[in-house]
Structure 1
């Protein structure tokens, strides 16, 4: 456990939950019968605007984020739920996420069902392009977007997961998955067992 950190600030999309996976599932479901359709796998997506989903007209993919079926399909990144539950015994956890009002309201409900004691901080995209207005000076911030990390005042910042176009410029600490985060924050000697 880290004594210098009180709070863990955790991004939602692409960090806590497998957003890309769900978006391409919805796209593949909606466009499978279109003439120019090619099946999209989540691991082939490398653009912020899901340009790989080429049958979708401009703005269409953004609508998925506000739909209840997005949240019905949504699932945690591997080991994330277990890690958050364990880490919440030692740290205050706050989920900080970008979105528009319908998206943020549904995210808050989704979080409260799974983590009743975790605070959700919604950041409206109409007002803020990053998360720099959130005071994170008492903690560590985990996000998959380098733009959010470089503008944060957190004591420490960690880029989560794979290298994507939206974080390839990141030169700081990067942890690939929640097993690594759990090990990093709870101590090197902790055993990490992979969930089946």
Structure 2
């Protein structure tokens, strides 16, 4: 029976898209040609909808303490992850540069002390495939991470975006869907 969940951070545990968009809106509200961007309109990996800045500037938001101070849990993630931690070992597998991963580690220690953090450093690793997930289920919002993982089971999490719209496997739109999926998987095992 699978006892380990390999959970992505951005877009799965926390609403990164919303936070990055809010930081951008705050920083640009006095610009002459600025109009606020609604986070639900973001559909590009590199936040091309945040039109007043190149991605290199937007990318810096991921490293700022104010990102980690303001980022919100995905709806129901906190309560469902707490419940799942009673049945599963939770390992948070996330990619980032050094500064971003330090911020994630601090956030996770404060908010998910029951989880083990498995950082994957940009430049040292191409993707998450260097992490052996063969004993568990990967839960990620990126098709490339799902495809390249050796996880026993793979779940695409969350809303459909340009970076995951082509996923044809299991998709859970929210944390309640994911909890139900895992419960159904347990029942299948019990019936075998």
Please state which band the TM-score falls in when normalised by the shorter chain. Answer: over 0.9
Q: What is the DSSP-based 3-state SS (H/G/I as helix, E as strand, rest coil) of the residue aligned with 2:7?
A: strand
> Of residues 12, 28, 32 in structure 2, which corresponds to 1:31?
28
Runs (4 or more) in structure 1 with deviation over 2 Å come to: none
Query: Could you tell me how far 1:32 is from its partner in structure 2?
Result: 1.2
> Of residues 154, 160, 165 in structure 2, which corresponds to 1:163?
160
Q: How does 1:14-29 map to 2 (within 5 A)?
A: 14-29=11-26
Instruction: Name the structure where helix makes up a greater proportion of residues.
Output: 2
Distance in 1 (CA, whole Å) between partners of 2:92 and 2:180 is: 20
Query: What is residue 191 of structure 1 aligned with on the other side?
Result: none
Number of corresponding residues: 185
- The question of 1:91 aligning with 2:85 is answered no
CA contact (8 A) 1:87 1:186 kept: no
Provide the alpha-carbon RMSD of the alignment. Answer: 1.1
> Of residues 135, 148, 153 in structure 2, which corresponds to 1:151?
148
Q: Unpaired segments of 5 or more residues in structure 2?
A: 186-192
Q: TM-score, normalised by structure 1?
A: 0.91
Query: Could you tell me how far 1:129 is from its partner in structure 2?
Result: 2.6
- The question of 1:129 aligning with 2:126 is answered yes
Q: What is the DSSP-based 3-state SS (H/G/I as helix, E as strand, rest coil) of the residue aligned with 1:59?
A: helix
Q: Unpaired segments of 5 or more residues in structure 1?
A: 189-196
Distance in 2 (CA, whole Å) between partners of 1:104 and 1:38 is: 31
Query: Could you tell me how far 1:187 is from its partner in structure 2?
Result: 4.3
- The question of 1:40 aligning with 2:42 is answered no
CA contact (8 A) 2:47 2:55 kept: no
Q: What is the DSSP-based 3-state SS (H/G/I as helix, E as strand, rest coil) of the residue aligned with 2:6?
A: strand
- The question of 1:66 aligning with 2:63 is answered yes
Distance in 2 (CA, whole Å) between partners of 1:53 and 1:26 is: 11
Q: TM-score, normalised by structure 2?
A: 0.93
Query: Could you tell me how far 1:182 is from its partner in structure 2?
Result: 1.2
Query: What is residue 56 of structure 1 aligned with on the other side?
Result: 53
Question: In the TM superposition, what whole-angstrom CA distance separates every residue of 1:73-128 from its partner, at most 9, and x where no partner exists?
Answer: 01110010111100010010000001100110110110011121210011111222
CA contact (8 A) 1:12 1:95 kept: yes
